[in-house]
Structure 1
């Protein structure tokens, strides 16, 4: 297949992958999906996509390996990395490995298409600091550990070194969703 409007989505969340796929198909893309690095390699055997959307965290795997594979397959491919756990370190690594952009979730199809269009970078990007509060950092860390524990409150509390009821109170203040 030609790369003109062929997109590959590498995402382990089946529901999100289906939603993203339908949305891109409505915009005229032909969409292929892969849930892991191995599945991506199978897709690339017979296809040459021009676009890719890669989730940074694919279960136990890192999406960065997929970025590297995609870039090696076609250095001109436009690759956007999506993540619910954005960090400067992973953004830098994704760009070094060949991603053209890096977006924090939640992102929609409009955001992703805009990221494909901004693949060249913007030297006029604002340099204003974006401070993050301690509460936000704590919440993000709790949520990451909670997800790693398959939303098991007791195991999450144990890994965080806090009482289960304390964690439950913190979660009740700011709903997961």
Structure 2
């Protein structure tokens, strides 16, 4: 049986992924922080790992090498709500087998967990339709705002925009990106 470790700080998403993939034949274990993820990897000895890009205040990219050191043959897939080409390339360079933007459908997950990627092939698996630039901007603004505990002035300063401009952007509804849920 395939064993899957899900390292994801969003407990609801982690539980949903575990339910979906258990139905597909995986034995799933879940954890929600980086140190617990490394401990569970040692104890559970998974054949597959789904690793979130942002685990609380930590960056999931920093876990790729230690996880590879523990489990050199594990199939490691990085999940992110903030997809970019730069982080995709970095994830693959550090040893991730695949890189997926959230939300991700079950079939895309299954494909990412089972398809071998050759070392020379640095192809990046995004969902069928990549995130639009407007949606990516919206999600980035939301992430920076959350990191600043809702402080609009500090967020505007970090984003290099006027506070009023940021307030106008925040009043708009999130941009739909027509990706499957």
Cα separation, partners in 2 of 1:82 and 1:173, compared to 1, 3 Å: same
The alpha-carbon deviation at position 167 of structure 1 amounts to: 2.2
The alpha-carbon deviation at position 24 of structure 1 amounts to: 1.0
Q: Deviations over 1:8-48 (max 9, x none)?
A: 00101111111111111111211011211210122123221
Check conservation: 1:37, 1:65, Cα contact below 8 A.
no
Counterpart of 1:112 in 2: which secondary structure? helix
The two structures have a TM-score, normalised by structure 2, of 0.77
Q: 1:43 aligns with which of 40, 48, 68?
A: 40
Counterpart in the other structure of 1:55: 52
User: Structure 1 unaligned runs (5+)?
Assistant: none
Given the alignment of the two structures, is residue 26 of structure 1 paired with residue 17 of structure 2, yes or no?
Answer: no
Counterpart in the other structure of 1:144: 143
Number of matched residues? Answer: 170
Check conservation: 2:77, 2:98, Cα contact below 8 A.
yes
What does 1:120-131 align with in structure 2 at a 5 Å threshold?
120-121=117-118
User: Structure 2 unaligned runs (5+)?
Assistant: 177-181
State which structure, 1 or 2, has the greater radius of gyration over its C-alpha atoms: 1
Moved more, 37-46 or 48-57: 37-46
The alpha-carbon deviation at position 75 of structure 1 amounts to: 1.5
Counterpart of 1:76 in 2: which secondary structure? coil
Check conservation: 1:75, 1:98, Cα contact below 8 A.
no
Computed over aligned residues only, the root mean square deviation of the Cα atoms, in angstroms, reads 3.0
Counterpart in the other structure of 2:179: none
Counterpart of 1:43 in 2: which secondary structure? helix
The two structures have a TM-score, normalised by structure 1, of 0.79
Q: Deviations over 1:30-86 (max 9, x none)?
A: 101121121012212322110010001112111112222221112111111011122
